[in-house]
Chain A
Amino acid sequence: MKKILVPIKRVPDYEVKLKVAPSGESVITDGIKWIVNPFDEIAVEEALRLKERGNECEIVVVSIGPEGASEQLRTALAMGADSAILVKCESAVDSHVAHEILAQLYSQDTYSLVIMGKQSIDSDANQTGQLLAAKLGLPQATFASKLELKSDWSEVQVTREVDGGLETLSVSLPAVVTTDLRLNEPRYPSLPGIVKAKKKPLNIVEASSLGVDLTPRIKIRKLETPAVRKAGVKLGSVVELVDKLRDEAKVL
């Protein structure tokens, strides 16, 4: 059976106001809410839709991180993914480390397609999918807003959101596709889905057992919070607002 690999990342919820730790080298994550990286959630949804459109396949989700990342894998399983792999890694994982691990997992099985978010909303690097494609010598289609799989799994036609418009590429499989916001709106896990997810396989692998380089290439030396914007003035009327926009802000 064809297999789709969907890497997902555990990231702080986008509603959490993050603070820099006193060391200045990390953010404080104690007790915060974690979610599936929203772009990766779109990737899971797209894999499910491909399957639901009659493309028989197994959807394997994988996450790299601490034990806690199994929660995000369970979420993906509850959405409908078939099996999960947690690569346990307590040390810092940058795009380089992530792609090395994913490439190793990819080569341990036969996958026809990798779908993942275009970037994670924590480090915002927008690199892992492209790094993985290059490492594996695969073609890629980044920033997908539409995806059509040929029924024989020989290629996928992808519409990409690029500067100035939409580009359509046809890409031979296997390939790496990264998802953009417009591709779909992910479903919420259903109650039966959540129950079923508990029985689906979730295999745990130690990152150190994979025999890959776990040294990040990007080292954070200092984190800072950008200058805070000052609150302005509250105005009494629309007319006053238009006057300010014209005479003070000069945007009219």
Chain B
Amino acid sequence: MILVVLESVGERLPKGALVTINAALQAKERHGYSKVVGLLLGNDGVEVAAQAAASYGVDEICYLKSPALEPYLALTHQQAVLAAVAELRPTMILAASSSRGKDLFPRVAQTLAAGQVSDCLEFISAAEFGVPLFKRPMYAGNILALVEVTTPVKVVTIRQAAFSAAASQGGVSAVRALSVVVEGTQAQRFMKFDTVKSERPELSDAEIVVSGGRAMKSSENFEKYIAPLADAFGGAIGASRAAVDSGYAPNDWQVGQTGKVVSPALYVAVGISGAIQHLAGMKDSKVIVAINKDPDAPIFEVADYGLVADLFEAVPQLTEEVKKAKAG
């Protein structure tokens, strides 16, 4: 049986939960499990979110309601998942590779002496290798690995971008509360949460990203050229490692193997040569535009649309044209 742990926000079931359900349904079918049970952890509203989760093809939904589960702490949620596992005895525990999933599930795996696959992209049936396998990225997605988990209980976190959201089914599965006492902890204390407030979308989930490279020459030029273009598109700003290392852009703008891995609908690389480390962070973007003076820059090898031009002339012109196109 697969236990799929779903993240809810109060009464709300976010899209990430539906994506995680779909991944669990794929695992059930391809790895030959008998059923999928959903688990929600929370306090106020968790029973409502559990009801909402019941119409997406999962065999049963369980929820665990406790004041100790809000706000999230690894130590309290670990207790809750382990208590649910003790009662339900799943042989696969599946969750999203969200910041919460990444934080929590290695702890769960360790306690259960289970092997864990991080960032699963696809479940592969036993047909080819005799055992069910998991596809996952390594080296920032430059290599894809088919891996086997050698322990009887398996823990899997899934990369949400690799799955679509589950669709609502006709039937509704049974929903029940688990009666487990979760104790609070003093070892980890929640202090505060600052929601990132920015006029621009967050780099990791922006639909459009405009990035600058070393050819920007200064942080002032990032402000003067990259920022207006990003704003014209309504996108986020990124930078290559070379630009960050040169002090032209802050570290958290870095796109690449050692920065953020992004896959927006449109990625505009300005004055970026296209080092392997950078390509690893953006090559899964749907459409890539490259603007570079050097016609032989490797970035053109991955770009859908290339413009060999002086960025200091082309970018302001592009900014104006994008504004016009958006207004029109």
Contact = CB atoms under 8 A, between A and B. Distances in A.
A229 B100 CA distance: 32
A252 B325 contact: yes
Contacts of B258: 14, 38-39, 121, 181
Interface string B176-204: 00000000011111111111100000100
Contacts of A222: 129, 133, 145-146
A229 B283 contact: yes
Given A165-B193, A241-B289, A251-B266, A134 B110 contact: yes
B150 A219 contact: yes
Contact of B195 (A122, A141, A165, A232): A165
B188 to A, nearest CB: 5
A249 B287 contact: yes
Interface stretch (B46-54, B58-66, B299-307): B299-307
A152 interface: no
- Interface of chain B, helix or strand or loop or mixed? mixed
A220 B147 contact: yes
A142 B187 contact: no
Contact of A217 (B75, B107, B151, B325): B151
B115 A233 contact: no
B102 A234 contact: no
B318 interface: yes
Interface residues of B, number: 91
B74 A140 contact: yes
B98 interface: yes
A52 interface: no
A163 B301 contact: no
Contacts of A109: none
Interface in A91-133: 95-96, 99, 121-131, 133
A188 B100 CA distance: 33
B276 interface: yes
A130 B325 contact: no
Interface string A191-222: 00000000000000000000000011111111
B106 A130 contact: yes
Interface in A119-178: 121-131, 133-135, 138-143, 157, 160-172, 175
Contacts of B309: 238
A234 B265 contact: no
A183 to B, nearest CB: 9
A252 B207 CA distance: 11
Contacts of A246: 325
B145 A220 contact: yes
Nearest to A222: B146
A125 B118 contact: yes
Contacts of B70: none
Contacts of B145: 220, 222-224
Contact of B140 (A39, A124, A231): A124
Contact of A238 (B106, B133, B286, B318): B318
Residue among B74, B259, B318 with most chain A CB within 10 A: B74
Contact of B266 (A12, A96, A169, A245): A245
A185 interface: yes
B148 interface: yes
B251 A181 contact: yes
A226 interface: yes
A234 B252 contact: no
Contacts of B114: 217
Contacts of B314: 238
A124 B325 contact: no
B325 A166 contact: no
A226 B276 CA distance: 14
A143 B103 contact: yes
A223 B66 CA distance: 43
B115 A96 contact: yes
A182 interface: yes
A244 interface: yes
Given A140-B74, A231-B301, A251-B287, A126 B118 contact: yes
A162 B288 CA distance: 27
A241 B103 CA distance: 42
A175 B276 CA distance: 35
10 contacts: A39-B258, A162-B103, A166-B194, A182-B251, A221-B129, A221-B148, A232-B303, A249-B287, A249-B305, A252-B326
Q: Which 6 A-B pairs have the closest CB atoms?
A: A217-B115, A130-B106, A232-B304, A134-B110, A139-B187, A162-B99
Given A169-B73, A252-B322, 7 more contacts: A15-B276, A141-B188, A165-B195, A229-B283, A229-B301, A241-B289, A251-B286
Interface of A: 12, 14-18, 20, 27, 38-39, 95-96, 99, 121-131, 133-135, 138-143, 157, 160-172, 175, 181-182, 185, 215-226, 229, 231-235, 237-239, 241-242, 244-246, 249, 251-252
Interface of B: 73-75, 78, 98-100, 102-107, 109-111, 114-119, 129, 133, 137-151, 185-196, 202, 208, 241, 251-252, 254, 256-260, 265-266, 275-277, 280, 283, 286-289, 295, 300-309, 314, 317-318, 321-322, 325-326
